[in-house]
A = this chain, B = another copy of it.
């Protein structure tokens, strides 16, 4: 219908990364009791132009109106929120625990059902009421339970192996914190987080700034 962007199968990464921010800010404005949202206001909060907001919404098929509830519903639909995503976390280390104890996304329909670790010491223990199972039982677990997303917080060396098992088990997505670049495929979607990379990017920006300070 005159919207070429919609004919493409995948939206650009830049846009896919902005969508959650739109959602987040619409939720905030809703909580603030705002009656209306405008592309201008949203743009200001998110740190870009109103033209971009409108173009993004257009690219995603358009929204009926800019009431915060309508926007929130519409963005929820795009993002697949409230579809009940069942997740398991691999690795009961500090990062695994941090993710489990995150309350941020539980309200959006993301549930963590189990944690897996290779350390037998953890057997029978729980984290925040979630059972820790041995990683050797992962394949059986995936066979027996519907798992949508696997969160990898293991060392790099075993990440690829977990990915394979997740694919076999019919998992739809991987949220990967191990410092390896796992690839998305038609079988599974991957989101690589790479925490240390983002620290290095910060360091780069600091360094870059100091370089130019000295130049002038």
Q: Spell out A's residues near B (CB within 8 Å).
A: 9-11, 16-17, 19-21, 23-24, 45-47, 78-81, 83, 85, 93-95, 97-99, 101-102, 104-105, 108, 110, 148-149, 172-175, 179, 181, 183-184, 186, 189-191, 193-209, 212
Contact of A201 among B20, B45, B149 (CB under 8 A): B20
- A188 smallest CB distance to B (angstroms): 9
Contact of A212 among B9, B101, B191, B208 (CB under 8 A): B9
Measured in the bound complex, the distance between the Cα atoms of B202 and A183 in whole Å is 13
Measured in the bound complex, the distance between the Cα atoms of B108 and A198 in whole Å is 14
- Judging by beta carbons under 8 Å apart, are A79 and B203 in contact? yes
Residues of chain B within 8 A (CB-CB) of A181 are: 21, 45-47
How many copies of the chain does the oligomer comprise? 2
- A41 smallest CB distance to B (angstroms): 14
- A86 smallest CB distance to B (angstroms): 12
- Judging by beta carbons under 8 Å apart, are B105 and A101 in contact? no
- Judging by beta carbons under 8 Å apart, are A24 and B197 in contact? yes
Contact of A20 among B105, B172, B190, B196 (CB under 8 A): B196
- Judging by beta carbons under 8 Å apart, are B105 and A197 in contact? no
Interface-centre pick from A148, A173, A183, A200 (highest chain B CB count, 10 A): A200
Contact of A196 among B85, B93, B102, B172 (CB under 8 A): B102
- Judging by beta carbons under 8 Å apart, are A205 and B83 in contact? no
